[in-house]
Structure 1
């Protein structure tokens, strides 16, 4: 397995998408600070291939998701053998559990073909392609951090399994299994074919074949006579069919002749009836023609009467119309008189309303002028109310200012009193300090004077004297000096008094420091009260035009009442003025409406006069035109006579049409019946002629058939003696006999063909049985040779010894000639050449020595085992990843290790080393630098 590229996103420290291109890399270092994500790169490779990592396994796979992300994604492209593959995995956290999915693809040409998209299928395929399971991969290709020595010190069974995977030794087990399967299949096949030969080919003998060929020779000559007789019957079968047809036609002709007699009689009766009906219809038509000629109906006269009726009705309507107009004119005259009276009253009411409005307008203008003058001089009522409130605040501020001034006076007196006390306390403190200094000087004098007595107190028997440094043999008695004690007590009393004075002074200073802000605050409050007082006084002075006195509020209230009265009068005037305007507007609207009604009545009256003249003229014209037909009833009576005559005439015409139609149908029926009679006569003559011809043709056919087949039963008069049916029956019998012989011939030919094939197949089966038994014997011998895993065990032992030899070469170099490998009892050992080739278990090596030994085995795995693999071109270890472990080596050993690793670059293998050691990274030709940042780790190749 050799990597091509790796892509990460949301994977541990790699929050953002990161891509590594391994193309062209042989040996490189993965470096970066601790926690940047160096090991995560190798974890991503194992995650893509196996769905888990060495550090977390499969149970905690959700921990691979970056903080703040909901999924971890990785895609790994690699080559195995001559094929290129790509696997992508994703783990998504749904809030309760983690779900994973996978996609495994293979590159064919320039297209990626999906191989599996289910985890179970993909895991099995990937393991098969890589050639190692997860455990083997992490012990031979990837040496994880802290687990690099698992192949060296691991269990025997686990190590043997890894070697089997690397060398693909399972092929020999599969070979033995397959050989046994081939042996069983060969034996089963031979037994099956032997049974088949006995069961299906037992009767396939040459004797049976000769018997069938003899029967075929006997059957073929009997076919020709049957075929000739059948052809002769078929030749005369058409004559028999013609005879059958002639007899059928003869029966039909005789039936037609028999039916024609009654039809001719019936046709003659219908002709006589039709002639009588025609005569009766013609008589009725003549009578109706006489009625039509005598009718009094005249369409021209009726049209004139219809026109006169319309004019007469129009005359009647216009006479009613002129009476209606005259009645309406009388009503409009009365309505006009009433409206003229109402219009005069409305004009008077409008004039009265206008005068009232003018009076109220004058009063409103006067009150408004007074109000405006008052507002200009004193302000509005609301403004005066605000001044009244300001005056009340002025009075309160005067009282407040006086109180504040009194409090300030008291505070100033208190400050002066405390300042005096502070000065006196300072003087007392100075006097007390001077007295204390004198007492201390006097005590010093006494102590110097009597210092020997003080030294006596320090002497101890047997200890050196502090003055002469001689051992004290006897401590002398000390004597008390009352003057010193008295001086000390006096100093103590003076110190207490001084402390009391200092405390008192500090208390007074503290009180003064507290009084100062209060004095300043009271001054600020007084100034604030004075400012408020000045503002309020100015507002009152602006209204009263003088300095406010004691009765300032009463004067302001009077001014406010005056302003309210003026404002109320103006508002009432405005309301009254609005009412009068509405009243005036309504009066004007009413007068205008009455005027419009008068105009409308005058217009309607004039229009009616014109209409009355027009209607009168039309009535006069209609009377002149109608003359005696002016009466509607007379016109309707004359019109009714014409309508009755018209109805009678139309009835006669309709009856005539019915009779004419009936006579036409009678004539048509007479013509049809006459034609039918003529047709029946002609058909009778033709049928007689056809009957004679049919009898002649039937006799000719009967003569021909009887001459060929004398045993036929044929007569013209007997319909049941059908020659065609007799010949058809004979032909069927001949065909059946011939077809039976043909079927037997074909069956014998087919049986001969099948028997020949079976005889040939039986010979082939016998040869196949011999081959199957021979192949089974060879496969059985091969399986016996591979039985018991002896061959596999031999190869594994060879692999162990080769690993020990190849690993020793590397270990001798890495350990400066101290160690080499040995192999005893399925375990690796080390030989200590610095200690007389002492053999030691690998478990006794130190951490650094274990790393060197594991690295030596890893190098040996990468280089030397391909020679034992049955498929050298597809050997698995094309890559090696080492995760840390170099920190346990000293500088000299590290240099030797790196030289050994660098030598692998000439073997066309990829080697990746994970380390945070700068010296190691600098030695590598290529470095994959992992950068740690707040937004997630990033990758840079240099």
Structure 2
């Protein structure tokens, strides 16, 4: 895993959005004062991937990630792993009551050629696959992808502050406990405990299976052979069953035939005894004959009345429609009335024309008088214009004639002649208005008279057009009376015809009821004849009375013949029943010989079913014994397997519970780790130092500059101690990664170690060691320090500063 880009918002002291670009930094340092937030950046990397941080008391205590005064936290890490590019995103939110919950946990794969520059949203838009979208799913997906569990990650990739050289200087006992813890060797103790538990469970299972196997003591070879003999016997019995059933079935069939024949004769005799003719057949025939004669008479009367009705209809058609003649009479009356009204209208028009002329003359005279009065008023006003002007002057304003300011208005009385002339003009105008109204009324009356005359004339013309070629008024009145008389005659004829028809229908209804009863008597006889068709009764002629007499005579003769046949059939049925009883006894004896209970209802099916069921039961008994024997054999194998499991797990528990085994595992792990660390130290020290372990399992350093002498690691200088500690840390990380489920690649190491206590010479060795460790671009190395001398030698620095409660970071190149 190699980090490329880290985005923070609301995480710890990084309250504002912040982006760190690691894509061009194989070797970088997080620098800044103590408490500025350097380690928080390492925490953010861990949180983005695993949802936790090494410094948290509890792994799931996500509330520690959120700044106290913020309600939203977002951390996103873009990284490469195994040649692919991924992004891990986690978002937290604070509820109203202060509870912090995870709102989003996503692990996605990005396009391999996607950019990591610019807005985070644009970077994440390059998603090509979603690997996880929940905290639980993300935990599994990250561990599977990186090949490192959370514990392995913080021991292999993130080397926490304060414990870097702990393993190098620890006493042998503490180092052994540390190896047991870091390498997970305690698992063998748990395996031993589990083996002992499994041994106990296997012993209990063996005992339980043995008790279960005791229930199958009856599943023996002898029991299987006895069941097989029983099945064979029933198989032979089933094969010979048809030879026993056939005689019995034939005898039973003969009994059934005789019983059916006797029953049929008994039923026929009873049926013949119940045959009786209808009691009112002769009276019904007489009533039917009388009804036929009455219907013929009623039909003749109806025909005569219908003829009279047809004649009346012809007369009415010849006289014409009374409505047509009535309309003609009304038109003659309307023409006479219109002629009278038109004459009166002409007189009214003449009077209105004369009144209009008089109104015209009166209006002309009034208009002339008005003009004269207006001229007289104007003459008087001209003569007294100065008097009129004096009444319109206002003191202090200009005169409308001379335009000089009026100082004093002269007092001049109004001239009496002007008022008289104005009165005369008003009276003349009033007379003009009155004469105009009179003229308008005269014009209206004349117009109304003209419209009335035109309307009456037009209507009279329309009536006269309709009366063209029509009879005169007296002839139309005569034809109307004639039509009324013919119509009355037709109504009377239709009534008498309807009465006759109703009488005929009533007679037909009565006859129909008699015919229904008569036909029913014949149908009843026909049904009786069909019922006794096998006895060949006499043929019917259609005369129901005669047919009934003939049939009753035949029934008495036939009944005597049936009585004779019935006696003979009863004797034959009794003899057949005796034979059937003997054959039935043979069947019961066969069933008893096979140990089969006789069915309650003895039939061919019930007997065959009883034998088949017994055979099936016997065959199932064979299979059941075989199954029980097979199950008993499996149980025996399971008992042996459980006993073997008990022995193996008990021996494994004894071996793993021994203290020597754990010590041997620790010594092997330490030797393997020291071998790998020695090679790394030799490379970091330019061939000067190697590590080894003595017989007491103490760590020694081999100094090739001093004739390959061996001395305790406690004699190393500060810089040499750092090199040795780093070599052991890398080897320990490799060991832990090898134990992880996915065999994670260690291409990133983050050192959170204090270097402030190192002198200048040692610090130079540390710097050179880290430069050598990151050389070649095969591993990303990041360290946390506030030592300027060390930071200055790192090519890329992320300067972390804090102002109040907020931290910020700036990327600086050497």
TM-score bracket for this pair, using the shorter chain length: 0.5 to 0.7
In terms of mean alpha carbon deviation, does 36-45 or 669-678 score higher? 669-678
Take 2:25 and 2:258, find their aligned partners in 1: how far apart are those partners? 105
Residue pairs, 1:71-470, within 5 angstroms: 71-75=73-77, 87-93=88-94, 97=98, 98-103=100-105, 117-118=134-135, 137-138=153-154, 141-143=157-159, 163-164=179-180, 166-199=182-215, 201-223=216-238, 224=241, 225-229=243-247, 231-232=249-250, 239=257, 243=261, 250=268, 254=272, 258=275, 261=278, 265=282, 268-269=285-286, 271-282=288-299, 284-285=301-302, 288-289=305-306, 292=309, 298-299=316-317, 300-303=319-322, 304-311=324-331, 314-315=334-335, 318=338
Q: Is 1:712–2:577 an aligned residue pair?
A: yes
1:106/1:595 CA distance change after superposition, 3 Å = same
Instruction: Tell me the equivalent position of 2:418.
Output: none
CA contact under 8 A between 2:183 and 2:736: conserved in structure 1?
yes
CA contact under 8 A between 2:752 and 2:783: conserved in structure 1?
yes
CA positional deviation for 1:292: 3.6
| Structure 1 SS opposite 2:450 | helix
In terms of mean alpha carbon deviation, does 28-37 or 97-106 score higher? 28-37
Take 1:708 and 1:259, find their aligned partners in 2: how far apart are those partners? 32
Q: Tell me, which stretches of 5 or more residues in structure 1 are unaligned?
A: 381-557, 566-584, 715-728
Q: Tell me, which stretches of 5 or more residues in structure 2 are unaligned?
A: 112-126, 410-428, 538-557, 580-598
CA contact under 8 A between 1:30 and 1:38: conserved in structure 2?
no
CA contact under 8 A between 1:105 and 1:114: conserved in structure 2?
yes
Take 1:100 and 1:811, find their aligned partners in 2: how far apart are those partners? 44
1:154/1:781 CA distance change after superposition, 3 Å = same
| Structure 2 SS opposite 1:209 | helix
CA contact under 8 A between 2:678 and 2:727: conserved in structure 1?
no
Take 2:564 and 2:810, find their aligned partners in 1: how far apart are those partners? 120
Q: Is 1:604–2:448 an aligned residue pair?
A: yes
Take 1:128 and 1:713, find their aligned partners in 2: how far apart are those partners? 92
By percentage of residues, which structure has more helix?
Answer: 1
Instruction: Tell me the equivalent position of 2:727.
Output: 859
Take 2:39 and 2:442, find their aligned partners in 1: how far apart are those partners? 113
Take 2:467 and 2:451, find their aligned partners in 1: how far apart are those partners? 24
| Structure 2 SS opposite 1:100 | strand
Residue pairs, 1:667-816, within 5 angstroms: 689-691=533-535, 710-712=575-577, 732-787=602-657, 791-792=661-662, 794-796=664-666, 799=669
CA contact under 8 A between 2:737 and 2:744: conserved in structure 1?
no
Take 1:208 and 1:800, find their aligned partners in 2: how far apart are those partners? 67
Q: CA RMSD in A?
A: 6.7
1:898/1:227 CA distance change after superposition, 3 Å = farther
1:52/1:335 CA distance change after superposition, 3 Å = farther
Instruction: Tell me the equivalent position of 1:647.
Output: 491
CA positional deviation for 1:780: 1.0
Take 1:920 and 1:697, find their aligned partners in 2: how far apart are those partners? 138
CA positional deviation for 1:190: 1.1
Take 2:20 and 2:344, find their aligned partners in 1: how far apart are those partners? 110
TM-score (norm 1): 0.57
Instruction: Tell me the equivalent position of 1:61.
Output: 64
CA contact under 8 A between 2:7 and 2:18: conserved in structure 1?
yes
1:805/1:295 CA distance change after superposition, 3 Å = closer
CA positional deviation for 1:186: 1.8
CA contact under 8 A between 2:39 and 2:752: conserved in structure 1?
yes
CA positional deviation for 1:773: 0.1
CA positional deviation for 1:133: 7.5
CA positional deviation for 1:904: 4.0
1:167/1:617 CA distance change after superposition, 3 Å = closer
Residues 668-715 of structure 1: CA deviation (Å, up to 9, x unaligned): 67877776676666666655552259999999999999879824399x
CA contact under 8 A between 1:267 and 1:674: conserved in structure 2?
yes
1:345/1:137 CA distance change after superposition, 3 Å = farther
CA positional deviation for 1:937: 6.1
CA contact under 8 A between 2:107 and 2:130: conserved in structure 1?
yes
Take 1:226 and 1:698, find their aligned partners in 2: how far apart are those partners? 38
Instruction: Tell me the equivalent position of 2:415.
Output: none
**Equivalent of 1:901 in 770, 775, 796:** 770
Alignment: residue pair count? 708
TM-score (norm 2): 0.64
CA positional deviation for 1:261: 4.8
Instruction: Pick the structure with greater CA Rg.
Output: 1
CA contact under 8 A between 1:15 and 1:937: conserved in structure 2?
no
1:126/1:935 CA distance change after superposition, 3 Å = closer
Residue pairs, 1:407-556, within 5 angstroms: none
Instruction: Tell me the equivalent position of 2:119.
Output: none
CA positional deviation for 1:759: 1.5
Take 2:787 and 2:695, find their aligned partners in 1: how far apart are those partners? 37
